[in-house]
Structure 1
């Protein structure tokens, strides 16, 4: 039962908070999978999207699908990321209002097999681009008056699995970076968050696991299915929209409930 004074606070236009009309966003890793779906989601919300990928042809293809603009960039390169955010306002026709960064990949190996090159590769592909994005993208978004920086982490950075040591360590570091960035950039109106997916049925994962892998992972999820790339794009959209205007420094886990499904066997009978 409600008690105390009657609430008379203004009621916002929640539908308008969901929209991205007039927003200019930079999407890193737009060329495939989660990136492509994210480009569609952001564009459908009304945003003008700069579709960035290391593969220029894929960037151009996704930009053509979504009415965005293509940009080829190696986002593990400091010069590349610096130039990207210097050029983005001119390409987008105004200040950068936010960044969505889905770049990342894994090469699975046991700890005893992992060499220096494999370790360094993971921290380049998974973490370095995020650090550079915080530096240059955060500065650009702050100069525009604030907005979101949204990253894709992984449940591998929150839990553990065989062959995931380097990948998981880099994803855990990304989340630590995100939290520090949220604290440092918050006074400038920049919100910094991450989405941590579990297994997502990207083209790469489909090729790796096949139909049997999909079946086993679906059985492991309380929701009874594997995540589609659109599921992750939807979570990224939320964190990029003004519906999440008071959310920063957080990791949103999108794993179909796998992480909360404590692995006791199902008990039957009267037990």
Structure 2
């Protein structure tokens, strides 16, 4: 079979895209958990006022989610612009020097393991079918039909961070003051176990070290901020 654009490729690319989005969502939620937990636990070290904890938590949630969304929008917009520029240049080269581009596609297919004759035949067939798409996928590693949408990325980051941040926020304001710190720490560490496990599974990595790193990082963040909050509270700041 000479056509590298096999029937299974769209499915594989779609699955890869979905896994990347899911991994980003898990990591975004993890960021929301850790950053908001560090904030509210730090404030809890200084004061036990529920209204103060709620205000601080909501401020951290909104600031963090907006920052994540803005950063993701800028990042994906830059990537999308670069991909569109590369596609435009490739389209221009195909129009101005089609023979050279056909030779280039042949060489790329040869480098992937096809024999010279088969690579030439495949390059000709792909060029006849859709030259730009063939070069985009083989030469640039870009699927013209699946360019990332910066607005989708921004909203996904916003929602993922918000969902993660809600856990420590609710855990610190809902329980009685005598147990709220213990409830928050326990809920956060349990959630970090889950996000660490999921991120490792999605990346096909060992789950144990990923969970341990996640939990230790979150515990350290809460310990540092609680210590700082307690110190500030003790001196009356």
- TM-score category by the smaller chain? under 0.3
TM-score, length of structure 1 as denominator length: 0.25
Larger radius of gyration: 2
Higher fraction of helix? 2
